[in-house]
Amino acid sequence: MKKSAIALWVFIQLFFGLQIRAQKSAIDGLNASLATGNDTSKVKTFIRIGDEYNQKNNYEKALSNYFSALKLAEVIQNQESQFLSLMKLSAFYERLFKHEQALEFGLRAQKIAEEQGNKQNMFDVFDLVGGLIYCNEGKYDVAIKYWDRMMKMVDETGDKAKILYMQTGYGNIYREQNKFDKSIEMFSKALKMARELGEKENISNILNDISLVYDIKTQYKKELYYNLEAFKEANRDNSYVEFYAGQAANTYFKLNRYDEALLYAKKSLAVSIQNKDMSSELTAYWLLKKIYAVKNNYKEAYAAQAKYTALNDSLNSADVQNKMNLLKTGYDAEKQTKEIEFFQNKASLQSKLKNVLIAAFIFLLIIIFLIANGYRLKKKSESNLSSKNNELNQTIITLKSTQTQLIQSEKMASLGELTAGIAHEIQNPLNFVNNFSEVNEELIEEMEQEIEQGDLTEVKAIAIDIKENSKKINLHGKRADAIVKSMLQHSKSGSGTKELTDINKLADEYMRLAYHGLRGKEKIFNSVPITIGMITHFDPYLPKIAVVQQDIGRVLLNLFNNAFYAVNQKQKIAGGDYKPEVSVTTSTENGQVIIKVKDNGAGIPDAIKDKIMQPFFTTKPTGQGTGLGLSLTYDMVVKGHGGSIAVDTKEGEGSEFIVILPV
């Protein structure tokens, strides 16, 4: 279910009892208490410490303490402690929209609650799994089943507060399913009960929920009525006044009632600043910019835009980056301690990689020494041989752990490049949508003037233009939607299952994403006009083949990244006469699909051509590559799909990588 930021925050705050204590002394005191008390109380202390860090947006430390609580609960085999820890982890991941991890821990908590037969725990976990996680994933049919089980439990107790909560939840689910009559019916029941119970805050929330139904139905006058009612209730209760004022301002704007929209936007801004609610303040500046622009007050519009940009930058600079770092890390219950230590200081990652490579070389020397020494010691004593073998095994385990960390870092680097590419790729259709929307607004104003003048011929001409622009808005909106859905599909954690895949489409997507990823990293693009020719020769009759989409996507991304890197490096030294080009060609031959990625960069010297597929070998400067990209590519193609990969290169002229996959 698409819940507002306020609803989600209130849910986490109230339902799971997160306490807001920003003082450092509070955490110090909790850490000190870990030295005393029994194991059950220590589990609760770990959870409380995690809550403190969570409130401060220190997600790494919050997650570390939640996992510490879970591991201790599992050691002491206390089901109630395990349940509490799992619920915290599930809610934590859902707050960051990591639905897969949230569902994993939520279902484990559900199993414990059902084994215990604890009805309160069952209600809580059903609410989290069904009411939040499945709804946020859009799986409303599954969510309704959980909601029905909860309602049955509530009916048995007759708890009116919970009945009110359930009615509101049903209303939200029905709204997302576009069952508007049912949604209004449930919200109306909830509103009546909230008034009977004197639930002032719930009254304004429910009124706002009803307004969202009419917003979807584009019945803006009814939406405005409930916006204003919600604002009145919130004003009486003095809670979230700035949010509801902003909602009313936005609806007035949609009704072209700009004076009223300006009045409520100013109210929202004033209360937001007073309450230090930066999220609502940001929304208020955005509304003010739009309103002033429509009223042709460009000076005020520019001022509002400047304040919006400054506030947005300050909000995103640290907090959003911290979230993105966590989303990239992908914690796992069994190895989270190592990953936290490894990713905690991202700024020094490149330096650590260099140290790890040196350590790996030293470990190899140690292995050689131990093998030779073990052979000699075998002749002297079987007991000494056993001792040295143990040392050797431990060394090999350490080396494998080091290699695993390096491979993980390479995957995270690729994820960063893919994320940058997606951002640039989706911006294009969104720009079209915004531009055509603004043009339509101007045309509608012209149409109104022509209608007043009675020039029907000009009105019809303008109407045709508006219709064409609307088609373009719809087209580019669908294009953006397709990009998001496609990339979500590619970015899911794969199970290794092969699916029939359109290689032409996959290659086209990753070629553009690699190009935009390079633009996001290279400052030279911002100072020198560089155009890299992207050429495609796709076989229109290419059959779909069964592959692991995530793996082949990574293969293509690595090859395109290397190609764009090569032509970009050559551009820096070749001058204006050089025209960089990267091409991709697909074809079928002898029951095989052939993919060729070609560039006209500097090429690969013959002396190192045979080494490029080896792990840890890289031609890039220190700190810019780990030497694992082509090694992983080779493994995915050859070992994962039974194909082959080769390179045709000439120094100074370029390279062509040829991937062959069985149909």
Write the secondary structure of 557-614 as one string of H (helix), E (strand) and C (coil).
HHHHHHHHHHHHHHHHHHCCCCCCEEEEEEEEECCEEEEEEEECCCCCCCCCHHHCCC
Q: Is the dihedral of CA 489, 490, 495, 501 positive or negative?
A: positive
> Helix, strand or coil for residue 659?
strand
1-118 is classed CATH 2.60.40.10: no
Q: What are phi and psi of 468, to 5 degrees?
A: -65, -40
pTM of the model: 0.41
As assigned by CATH, the class of the 240-326 domain is: mainly alpha
Amino acid 257: pLDDT: 92
Question: Coil, helix or strand for 661?
Answer: strand
Q: In what order do the strands lie in the sheet with 654-662?
A: 533-537, 581-589, 592-599, 654-662, 644-650
For residue 584, the cross-strand partners are 536, 597
- pLDDT confidence of residue 521: 63
Residue 120 token pair: 């309160």
Q: Rounded distance, CA 244 to CA 159, Å?
A: 29
Three-class HEC string of 583-597: EEEEEEECCEEEEEE
Contact 603, 650 (CB under 8 A): yes
Residue 274 tokens, joined: 């007073």
Q: Which long-range contacts (CB under 8 A, 24 or more apart) does 314-322 make?
A: 315/278, 315/279, 315/282, 319/57, 322/57, 322/58, 322/59
Rounded Cα distance between 165 and 145, Å, is 16
Angle at 650 between CA 648 and CA 656, to 5 degrees: 35
Query: What was the pLDDT predicted at 7?
Result: 44
β-bridge mates for residue 583, sequence order: 535, 598
pLDDT of residue 655: 92
Strand partners, 581: 533
- CATH numeric code, 499-662: 3.30.565.10
CA atoms within 13 A on the CB side of 399: 15
What pLDDT shows up at residue 332?
45
Which residues in the chain show pLDDT less than 50? 1-23, 318-348, 490, 492-495, 524-529, 623
